[in-house]
Amino acid sequence: GQTKFEVDIQKLKDSIERLDKEISRFQGSQKELTKKVAERKRLQDQLDKLLGTGTGGSGRASRLTGEQKDFIKDIEARRDELLA
């Protein structure tokens, strides 16, 4: 079975994914969007800590973070377009 650790990681990933979806089709105020982005960052930081990313974790974890960083850039670009 899965360890509690693995379950926590999956739960965090699911939460981040859910927030990504909310952010990508967000229609509300800038203030609400900023809150969602901040919450996503907080979850991502927790996930990075669990995975040991940034503290010499596995290469796979770092690559994942790179993809997620790209994804956040896309989201922010989309948000800027919506606000423009």
16-27 pLDDT, tens digit per residue, is 999 999 988 888
pTM of the predicted structure, to 2 decimals: 0.54
Is residue 23 within 8 A of residue 73, CB to CB? The reply is: no
Residues 6+ apart with CB under 8 A from 83: 30
The confidence band for 81, taking pLDDT boundaries of 50, 70 and 90, is confident
